[in-house]
Structure 1
Amino acid sequence: MPRLRVTELQDFLQAQSAREPVLLDVREPWEIERAALRLPGARALDIPMGELTSRLNELPDDAPIVCLCHHGVRSAHVAAWLERNGFDEVWDVVGGIDAWSLEMDRALPRY
């Protein structure tokens, strides 16, 4: 599966914006409340990893999906699972929201 560094994420989303890419955050609700990432050019979709199979119908099958979590472990598992289950355009964000906080936006809380 392709992976994106946080430094590449905004440019990638902007380049794909005509197709409304999805930024799929697979963290738990309390984590998203603490540090949500909402970026222009992408539709934010928050589905905890444990709920993904029951909410699969919420994912588009015709737009890029970029998976995000805290450090990149859960999102890598989800991205790989989505690929195995027929989603063709799936990316993983290396280092997750923590890397975003460190490299892109120090105002975003770390936890």
Structure 2
Amino acid sequence: MRRLRVAELQDFLQAHAQQQPVLLDVREPWELERAALRLPGTRALDIPMGELTSRLNELPDDAPIVCLCHHGVRSAHVAAYLAHHGFDEVWDVIGGIDAWSLEMDRSLPRY
């Protein structure tokens, strides 16, 4: 599994813009209501970790998938799962949305 620091995320997304990367947020709906990350040049897809196995068909197999959660634990599990199930370009965001809030956008609420 490949990992990205939040400071690398925007550059990564920009470098892969032609492939239309997917920002896969695996948090629960109540978490998304508190703090959602929407970045230009990405397709945002919100699938809670517990629903992933039944919703795999929603994921593209021809674009990078960048997994995100609160602190990076769930997204790391999801990224490993996807890689194990044949998705080639899967990345995990280290520290999750909390790290994004601390390092990149302090206006994004922490919880």
Is structure 2 residue 33 aligned with structure 1 residue 33? Answer: yes
Whole-Å separation in 2 of the counterparts to 1:56 and 1:32 = 20
Aligned structure 1 segments of 4 or more residues deviating by more than 6 angstroms: none
1:1-111 correspondence to structure 2 within 5 Å:
1-111=1-111
Whole-Å separation in 1 of the counterparts to 2:109 and 2:2 = 27
Whole-Å separation in 2 of the counterparts to 1:87 and 1:12 = 18
RMSD: 0.4
Q: Find the residue that maps to 1:55 and give its secondary structure.
A: helix
The gaps in structure 1 that reach 5 residues or longer are none
Q: Find the residue that maps to 1:87 and give its secondary structure.
A: coil
Q: Find the residue that maps to 1:70 and give its secondary structure.
A: coil
Whole-Å separation in 1 of the counterparts to 2:58 and 2:14 = 22
TM-score, scaled relative to structure 1 = 0.99
Whole-Å separation in 1 of the counterparts to 2:86 and 2:19 = 18
Q: Find the residue that maps to 1:51 and give its secondary structure.
A: helix
Q: Find the residue that maps to 2:23 and give its secondary structure.
A: strand
Aligned-pair CA distance for 1:101: 0.2
Q: Find the residue that maps to 1:61 and give its secondary structure.
A: coil
Q: Find the residue that maps to 2:78 and give its secondary structure.
A: helix
For these two proteins, the number of residue pairs brought into alignment is: 111
Whole-Å separation in 2 of the counterparts to 1:10 and 1:44 = 14
* CA deviation vs aligned residue, 1:42-77 (integer Å, no higher than 9, x gap): 100000000001111000000000000000000000
Give the aligned residue type for 2:6: V
Whole-Å separation in 2 of the counterparts to 1:84 and 1:72 = 18
Aligned-pair CA distance for 1:41: 1.1
